Structure 1
Amino acid sequence: MSTHDLPELDLAASCDCGAVTLAIKGRPVSMFQCACQNCQKASGSGHSSIVLFPVAATKVTGATKSFVRPADSGANFTRHFCPECGTTIFAESSRAPAFRIVPVGLFAGQNDWYVPNQLIFARSQAGWDLIDDHIPHHSAYRPETHR
């Protein structure tokens, strides 16, 4: 799926308590699933469903709190969340500072456009977490050619 095949979006979503809103206007860069252990902890499931947007396509309204941790790549991974209810709004990696990593579940009820094209960190995938076998599974980060 090329970037031009991805949907043009104009959406807004908020955290559980409504204190923080994320507006999206434009095309995603990529849509994928991640089974790294950090995504499992953050999602409370076997993987996270992710959509990647250019920073310029996103607008956050309201104050967020952040948590920075080292990623397997050696980059810093920063998760931004509502300080009141704890909902993750977006994340970012020092490895790819031009992009925001957005949990597609933030757009619950208005995310039928989401079609993941790959699974990253399949090496951590739990056997009970059933992910479509028809999408490529990468043991760690996806190759740059599979954005």
Structure 2
Amino acid sequence: MSTQDRPELDLVASCDCGAVRLAVKGRPIAMFQCACQNCQKTSGSGHSSVVLFPASATSVTGETKSYVRPADSGASFTRHFCPVCSTTVYAQSSRAPAFHIVPAGLFAGQNEWYTPNQLIFARSHVGWDLIDTHLPRHDTYRPEKQS
């Protein structure tokens, strides 16, 4: 999916209790599913469905708390969530601080545009979690494009 094929968005989403709102304006950088064990824990499922946006395309209203953990890549991974209902609003990796990783489900009821194009961390994907078999799968991160 080329950048031009990604939708131009102008949306506002909120956490479960409504105390935190995330506005996004612009095109997603990527839309994918992740089956790492941390995503399994935080989603309560076998994977998470996420959208990667430039940090400059998002704005948050309301107070968030954050939790920082070491990622398998050696980076620090920070999850920003509502302190009232604990809904994840976005996450960031120290590997790519210019981007926000937003759960596609945060836009519930207005996320028909979401089209994942890959599964990352397929090495920890569990068989009971049904994911489109046509999606490219990568054991960890997708390999960098070779020039």
**Normalising TM by the smaller chain, what interval?**
over 0.9
Q: Which residue of 2 aligns with 1:33?
A: 33
Where in structure 2 are the equivalents of 1:15-54 lying within 5 Å? 15-54=15-54
Any stretches of 5+ residues in structure 2 without a counterpart? none
Give, in whole Å, the separation in 2 of the partners of 1:58 and 1:108.
17
Letter in 2 for 1:26: G
Q: Which residue of 2 aligns with 1:2?
A: 2
TM-score for both structures, normalised by structure 1: 0.97
1:75 is displaced (CA, Å) by: 0.2
Identity %: 78
Q: Which residue of 2 aligns with 1:72?
A: 72
Any stretches of 5+ residues in structure 1 without a counterpart? none
Deviation per residue, 1:75-125 (Å, 9 max, x gap):
000000000110000000000011000000000000000000000000000
Letter in 1 for 2:103: P
User: What secondary structure, in the 3-state scheme, does the structure 2 residue paired with 1:106 have?
Assistant: helix
Q: Which residue of 1 aligns with 2:55?
A: 55
Give, in whole Å, the separation in 2 of the partners of 1:143 and 1:61.
35
Give, in whole Å, the separation in 1 of the partners of 2:32 and 2:47.
10
Give, in whole Å, the separation in 1 of the partners of 2:81 and 2:45.
18
Q: Which residue of 2 aligns with 1:129?
A: 129
Runs of 4+ in 1 over 2 A off after TM superposition: none
Give, in whole Å, the separation in 1 of the partners of 2:78 and 2:4.
28
User: What secondary structure, in the 3-state scheme, does the structure 1 residue paired with 2:105 have?
Assistant: helix
Give, in whole Å, the separation in 1 of the partners of 2:57 and 2:34.
22
TM-score for both structures, normalised by structure 2: 0.97
Give, in whole Å, the separation in 1 of the partners of 2:130 and 2:58.
30
Letter in 2 for 1:16: D
Give, in whole Å, the separation in 2 of the partners of 1:14 and 1:25.
15
Give, in whole Å, the separation in 2 of the partners of 1:135 and 1:2.
16
